[in-house]
């Protein structure tokens, strides 16, 4: 008896009845989609770069943001084009992404609405649109099909930037008379924050490389880790070093808990949340102790390099317009008398690139209590969603995004994080929140190549009374 497959079943017939393959291998091929088979073949026959479209997008996006001060307008064009291009490439997932990520668009919506009451509506509108693109770029990083490839692309971008800083950067003397490394960033706090973020990313990629048994990425991430840690120490930023120390310990703890049973993981996570709540309740005393420790360690002054005066002035500005603020990015502009005075106090000749060095205060001055509350609420929702996913199904990328959120929360009382458009830390923070809100992808086979079963059914041939077998695909009951 001979099987006569139709043209639509030629591939199924060839896979099932090719004698050079065992039956188990033939059936496994049927249950895989074309992408998974192609990826498997590429993983064996190709060198170990392993970035894909998702990793390439992450690499180019972060590279453009890190080199924004050097590349100028070219970097701005890249940061505008890349998110839009990635959305076009992933347009089939756009509806599902918007359905799950819509809360993250509330902060840029509030920023755009501030045009109605802003002191500089054109400035607020420009930066609000840029914030929309920044949030979209972060969501693109989070909903990628290969989260590990995204982290590898980001790691590659950071190590290239830090290497360029070491090659072409410079140093200066800080307030204590010691040398502080500035790199290409123009400020020691900025280069320290970049290097500290790179350390966390390289550490995560190093763990991923060990799990994937990839010697190339283990060597690259280890080299990047050493390079970025050296730069972070040379920048002599007390806040960045203290936050990095806590975040590194947290990542190792998260990675260890990820291998623990679910009951132990849930209990440990809830215990950590309770401890975090207690710390938040007495944050003022703990913060003062950490500030004093950092001041003694790095020879800082008690006023945190003039931050206390900025916070004092910010309170007066908030009391004038407490509910809706002065408009998104409408304060730090040339011609504003209050901003000019603070620039003169800080000795900033360029009259730009300054902030209140406190995320909540910065947002309250710009968008009032309403806007700052929206930003804070979205941050809490993102953190809660990350913790919930970690308790259910942990992974190394999830451990990294939780660590990044913890690092940002530690830095928030002394730096303005999570609000600057076209900024690397803003993109990564929104990407972390989006990763927590994202719906986990289900590994389904491609519809066109879904597994089928061949069943022989008699069919009347061209000659009356003559019967011959005919191969007809019949789906099993469970596949319907």
What digits encode the pLDDT tens for the residues 53-102? 889 999 999 999 999 888 778 888 888 899 999 989 888 888 889 889 99
Is the per-residue pLDDT at 199 higher than 60? yes
SS3 of 306, please? coil
How far CA 395 is from CA of 95, 218, 462, 475, in Å, comes to: 25, 18, 60, 35
Q: How confident is the model at residue 353 (pLDDT cuts 50, 70, 90)?
A: confident
pLDDT score of 275 more than 90: no
Q: What is the mean pLDDT of residues 200-220?
A: 95
Can you read off the two tokens belonging to residue 340? 């000019």
Gap between the Cα atoms of 80 and 131, Å rounded:
11
Residues 6+ apart with CB under 8 A from 469: 1, 2, 3, 4, 456, 457, 458, 459
Q: How far apart are CA 455 and CA 406, in angstroms?
A: 57
Three-state SS for 353-404 is CCCCCCHHHHHHHHHHHHHHHHHHHHHHHHHHHHHHHHHHCCCHHHHHHHHH
- Is 427 a residue whose pLDDT tops 80? yes
> What pLDDT sits at residue 480?
41
Here the tokens at position 113 are 């609405």
Per-residue pLDDT for 279 more than 80?
no
Beta strands 179-183 and 453-460, pairing class: unpaired
Q: Dihedral (C-alpha) 235, 239, 240, 242: value to the nearest 10 degrees? A: 120
Residue 35 to residues 39, 121, 154, 445, 449, Cα–Cα distance (Å): 6, 48, 23, 9, 11
Q: How many CB atoms lie within 10 A of CB 256?
A: 12
**Closest residue by Cα to residue 142 from 209, 218, 207, 90:** 90
pLDDT at 59: 95
Which residue would you say has higher pLDDT here, 280 or 310? 310
- Residue 361, token pair as written in the block: 């205060």
The distance between the two most distant Cα atoms of the chain, rounded to a whole number of Å, is 103
Q: Which residues contact 45 (CB under 8 A, 6 or more apart)?
A: none
Nearest CA-CA partner of 51 in 135, 42, 201, 194: 42
Q: In terms of pLDDT, which residue wins out, 62 or 294?
A: 62
pLDDT band at 377 (very low <50, low <70, confident <90, very high): very high
Q: Which of 17-21, 325-329, 345-349 has the lowest average pLDDT?
A: 17-21
pLDDT at position 26 is 42
CA quadruple 265, 396, 86, 380: dihedral sign: positive
Question: Is 118 in a helix, a strand, or coil?
Answer: coil
Measured distance CA(192)–CA(263) in Å, rounded: 38
Q: In this model, does residue 186 exceed pLDDT 90?
A: no
For residues 107 and 452, the model is more confident at 107
**Range name among 124-138, 269-283, 363-377, 420-434 with the lowest pLDDT average:** 269-283
Higher pLDDT, 469 or 243: 243
DSSP symbol at 447? G
pLDDT score, position 277 = 65
User: How many C-beta atoms surround the C-beta of residue 108 within 10 A?
Assistant: 22
Angle, CA of 25, 28 and 34, to the nearest 5°: 115
d(CA 72, CA 350): 16
Would you state the structure tokens that stand for residue 137, as one six-digit string?
Answer: 């770029």
> What pLDDT shows up at residue 101?
92
Confidence bin at 446 (pLDDT 50/70/90):
very low
What average pLDDT does this structure show over 221-250? Answer: 91
Report phi then psi at 466, rounded to 5.
Answer: -85, 130
pLDDT in tens, 449-479: 444 444 445 555 555 555 554 445 444 444 3
Lowest-pLDDT choice from 67-81, 154-168, 422-436: 67-81
Note the pLDDT of residue 15.
46
> Rg (Cα) of the chain, in Å, rounded?
27
**pLDDT exceeds 70 at position 24:** no
**Cα 251 from Cα 153, distance rounded (Å):** 19
pLDDT of 46 reads: 40
Report the percentage of the chain scoring pLDDT > 70: 73
The residue-averaged pLDDT of 418-424 equals 91
DSSP, collapsed to helix, strand or coil, labels residue 21 as coil
**What is the distance between the alpha carbons of residues 91 and 225, in angstroms, rounded to a whole number?**
35
Annotate 209-248 with DSSP letters as a single string.
HHHHT-HHHHHHHHHHHHHHHHHHHHHT-HHHHHHHHHHH
pLDDT for the residue 179? 79
Q: Mean pLDDT, the chain, as a whole number?
A: 79
């Amino acid at each position: 008896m001979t099987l006569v497959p139709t043209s639509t079943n030629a591939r199924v017939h060839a896979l099932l009845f090719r004698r050079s393959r065992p039956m188990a291998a033939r059936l496994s091929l049927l249950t895989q989609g074309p992408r998974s088979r192609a990826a498997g073949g590429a993983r064996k026959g190709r060198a170990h770069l392993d970035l894909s479209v998702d990793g390439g997008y992450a690499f180019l996006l972060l590279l453009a943001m890190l080199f924004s001060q050097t590349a100028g307008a070219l970097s701005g064009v890249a940061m505008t084009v890349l998110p839009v291009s990635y959305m076009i490439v992933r347009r089939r997932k756009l509806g599902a992404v918007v359905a799950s990520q819509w809360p993250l668009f509330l902060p840029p919506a509030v920023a755009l609405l501030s045009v109605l009451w802003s002191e500089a509506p054109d400035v607020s509108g420009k930066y609000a649109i840029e914030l929309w693109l920044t949030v979209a770029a972060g969501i693109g990083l989070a909903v990628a099909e290969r989260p590990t490839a995204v982290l590898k692309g980001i790691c590659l971008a950071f190590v290239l930037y830090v290497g360029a800083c070491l090659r072409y950067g410079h140093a200066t003397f800080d307030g204590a008379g010691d040398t502080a490394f500035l790199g290409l960033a123009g400020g020691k706090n900025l280069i320290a924050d970049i290097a500290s973020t790179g350390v966390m990313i390289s550490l995560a990629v190093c763990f991923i490389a060990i799990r994937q048994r990839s010697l190339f990425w283990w060597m690259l991430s280890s080299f990047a880790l050493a390079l970025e840690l050296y730069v972070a120490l040379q920048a002599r930023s007390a806040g960045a070093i203290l936050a990095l120390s806590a975040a590194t310990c947290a990542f190792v703890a998260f990675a260890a808990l990820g291998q623990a049973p679910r009951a132990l993981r849930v209990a440990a996570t809830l215990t950590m949340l309770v401890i975090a709540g207690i710390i938040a309740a007495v944050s003022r005393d703990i913060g003062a102790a950490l500030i004093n420790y950092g001041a003694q360690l790095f020879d800082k002054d008690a006023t945190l390099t003039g931050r206390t005066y900025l916070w004092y002035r910010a309170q007066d500005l908030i009391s004038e317009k407490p509910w809706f603020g002065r408009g998104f990015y409408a304060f730090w502009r040339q011609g504003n008398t209050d901003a000019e005075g603070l620039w003169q106090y800080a000795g900033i000749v360029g009259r730009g690139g300054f902030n209140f060095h406190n995320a909540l205060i910065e947002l309250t001055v710009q968008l009032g209590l309403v806007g700052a509350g929206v930003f804070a609420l979205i941050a809490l929702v993102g953190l809660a969603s990350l913790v919930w996913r970690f308790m259910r199904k942990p992974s190394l990328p999830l451990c990294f995004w939780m660590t990044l959120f913890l690092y940002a929360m530690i830095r928030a009382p002394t730096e303005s994080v999570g609000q600057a458009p076209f900024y690397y830390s803003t993109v990564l923070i929104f990407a972390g929140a989006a990763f927590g809100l994202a719906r986990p992808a289900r590994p389904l086979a491609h519809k066109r190549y879904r597994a089928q079963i061949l069943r022989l059914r008699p069919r009347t041939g061209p000659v009356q009374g003559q019967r011959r077998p005919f191969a007809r695909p019949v789906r099993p009951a469970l596949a319907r």
